[in-house]
Amino acid sequence: MSQTFSDTVSARLDGGVLVVTIDNPPVNAASADMRTGLAGALSHASMADKIVAVVITGAGKTFVGGADIREFGAPPVGPLLPEVVAAIEASDKPVVAAINGAALGGGLEIGLACHHRIVSAGAKLGLPEVKLGIVPGAGGTQRLPRLAGLAAATELIAAGRLVAAAEALALGIVDAVAEGDPVGEAVAAARRLAGHSPRRTGALAVPSADPVVVEQAGVRVLAKARGQQAPVEAIRLVRAAATLPFEQGLAEERATFLRLRDSTEAKALRHIFFAERAAAKVAGLDGVEARPVRTIAVIGLGLMGSGIAVAVLDAGYNVIGVEQTPEAAENGRQRIAGLFDRAVKSGRLDAEGRAARLARLAATAVMEEVAGAELVIEAVFDDLAVKTALFERLDAIAAPHAVLATNTSYLDPDQLAAVTARPERVLGLHFFSPANIMRLVEVVRCGKTAPDVLATGLAVAKRLGKLPVVTGATEGFIGNRVFSAYRREAEFLVEDGALPHEIDAAMEAWGFAMGPFAVFDLAGLEIAWARRKRQAATRDPSARYVDIADRLCEAGRFGQKSGRGWYAHAGGKRQVDPEVTALIETSRAAKGIVVRAIPADEIVSRLLAAMAAEGRALLDEGIAARASDIDLVMINGYGFPAHKGGPMFVAGMG
């Protein structure tokens, strides 16, 4: 017989054990109602003599997905999670966690306060709060070190890394991995523990550890934190677990959590969290089924094509890799095999996985073989004539129901669709290099793309583990349009008086891993130069135009690959090149520009404003569906720091 303690918490008695189930779809977040219910169940258990122990579990595929992030910023509603967690730990009757699925943030903190933890084999556990710009706020930084030690706790909390069940057992975070149903095994364990004094995590001593090892764990995480606050605070709090009395550590943690929760960094990362979920909701696709896809043809196995093929093979699809000649096809197959070798070397893949993936790859020079694919992705040279001819051919030989996708970065996919008999089956899938690593895929909805074709593109991108963002068809889509505005303003700043290294220094100090000119040199200057030349005839003569980059390219300075660009590059290092400074000064003088010193904050604000203004235009044109999509594209494709939220968020338009 089941008993309810709130809308989201109910319980049943199983031979003296109260089995409490949290059922708060979609992720059993620790909402106010859930907390009230859990607290109610615990106090009921403490008062009922017939109850000898408690088991806590979640309904569905999640244990508890954490605190309810939507409640952040709203006035707090009691009982607060730390109070519920403290009640669990203080219970005189053993409380066993049956971790049936994801136990994240406050969800794991509930588990850590239980006296025994049994996890199902497929569950993921972790304290990913730093990914939201905060630290655990319900005891995670004080209880996890007591179970897993300082070094592991430092790494897991400061990096927000999740662990699978086996690693959680090895680290001492859980007591057992369930062979079958974790609830049944938890009830059995609870009965065994009944009548014994509970093992309270907070009462455990923090195992001693080699301070050097603990220090190194923190250093490794901070090397990637790029000035974010939360990882620094997480490391400090985990250390405090070893030096402060438990209750004092909890208080310090809570104060830090509350301070960070309202920080701009946390608001920015929360914005990104919900932006990623919102991007998946595409207008006009409610109830639209994606077409089934088992085999994907990738045309062109160069840098982009081979990366795309690897991502597709990693996701379990069959791949038909097409090149112009048998030799090129074999080179392509070897390039793909080489990418898998690297994955094996870095431990991300084992030999069996590599072999299984390559077994699903057919590399060929016979274009007609694409007839066996439900989706064709072309990644050939980004030239209109080349791609148009290819689409005419594909339209004739691809399966009637197959979806045709272009990986173009700058061409208008509508022009490619127009040369086919069925333009409704054409869309853009714009991957970012390296395509097997970069998360972002711009999914381009062309003028005639059918809803189920768009749904198919989104479904495939999601299965690749990518972050798909839908964009309309315009030159450069969302990302390159905003990046072009960024580039334009950066060059205006150079003409006005700032030097490339000063601009890069300002943007890197603000949070970018690389400033614009370092990125231009890394990507190569020739592609933008070719586009500027293509546009020269139609460029508005009254519009401001900076020709310094043209001068650099005319001098053979194409960036890192040619050893010289905006910088001189040697030994993997970039250096200010007096030749470039002289070229800049000459160009300014030729235009009679009165140079002035430009402070770093003006550099930053002008570049951010330029990106936001272009974003605004994309929204007005209906190319981007929402401002947060633009933030996702710039963060996941162009190195905009996530903890800043994106150009639209910074401009207050997120």
In the bound state with ligand T1G, the residue whose beta carbon lies nearer, of 279 and 299, is 279
Contact residue for ligand T1G among 51, 103, 138, 158 (CB under 6 A): 138
The reply on whether position 67 binds ligand T1G by CB under 6 A is yes
User: Residue 282: which residues within 8 A CB-CB, separation 6 or more?
Assistant: 454, 458, 470, 625
The reply on whether position 140 binds ligand T1G by CB under 6 A is yes
Q: Give dist(CA 43, CA 223) in Å, integer.
A: 45
In the bound state with ligand T1G, the residue whose beta carbon lies nearer, of 105 and 423, is 105
The reply on whether position 252 binds ligand T1G by CB under 6 A is no
Structure tokens belonging to residue 342: 């690297």
The reply on whether position 97 binds ligand T1G by CB under 6 A is no
Choose the binding region for ligand T1G from 130-138, 263-271, 393-401, 623-631 (rule: CB under 6 A). Answer: 130-138
By CB atoms closer than 10 A (0-12, 13-18, 19+), residue 479 is: buried
Site for ligand T1G in 9-48 (CB under 6 A): 26-27, 29
In the bound state with ligand T1G, the residue whose beta carbon lies nearer, of 13 and 69, is 69
User: Residue 32: which residues within 8 A CB-CB, separation 6 or more?
Assistant: 68, 71, 77, 78
User: Residue 506: which residues within 8 A CB-CB, separation 6 or more?
Assistant: 515, 600, 601, 603, 604
Residue 109 a catalytic site member: yes
Minimum CB separation from ligand T1G for residue 246, in Å? 17
Residue 653 in contact with residue 608, Cβ under 8 Å? no
In the bound state with ligand T1G, the residue whose beta carbon lies nearer, of 109 and 631, is 109
Residue 129 a catalytic site member: yes
Minimum CB separation from ligand T1G for residue 61, in Å? 7
Site for ligand T1G in 264-283 (CB under 6 A): 274, 277
The reply on whether position 185 binds ligand T1G by CB under 6 A is no
In the bound state with ligand T1G, the residue whose beta carbon lies nearer, of 136 and 198, is 136
Contact residue for ligand T1G among 102, 114, 376, 440 (CB under 6 A): 102
Q: Give dist(CA 106, CA 110) in Å, integer.
A: 6
Computed over its alpha carbons, how large is the radius of gyration of the chain?
A: 28
Choose the binding region for ligand T1G from 13-21, 135-143, 405-413, 514-522 (rule: CB under 6 A). Answer: 135-143
Minimum CB separation from ligand T1G for residue 613, in Å? 29
User: Residue 128: which residues within 8 A CB-CB, separation 6 or more?
Assistant: 66, 104, 105, 160, 161, 162
In the bound state with ligand T1G, the residue whose beta carbon lies nearer, of 29 and 453, is 29
The reply on whether position 153 binds ligand T1G by CB under 6 A is no
Q: Give dist(CA 45, CA 23) in Å, integer.
A: 19
The catalytic position among 89, 109, 155, 378 is: 109
The catalytic position among 71, 83, 89, 129 is: 129
Largest CA distance in the chain: 91
- Give the CA distances from residue 254 to residues 108, 135, 236, 240, in Å, rounded to whole numbers and listed in that order: 16, 9, 13, 13
- The residues carrying an active-site annotation are 109, 129
Point out which residues bind ligand T1G (CB under 6 A). 26-27, 29, 62, 65-70, 81, 102, 104-106, 109, 128-129, 132, 134, 136-138, 140, 274, 277
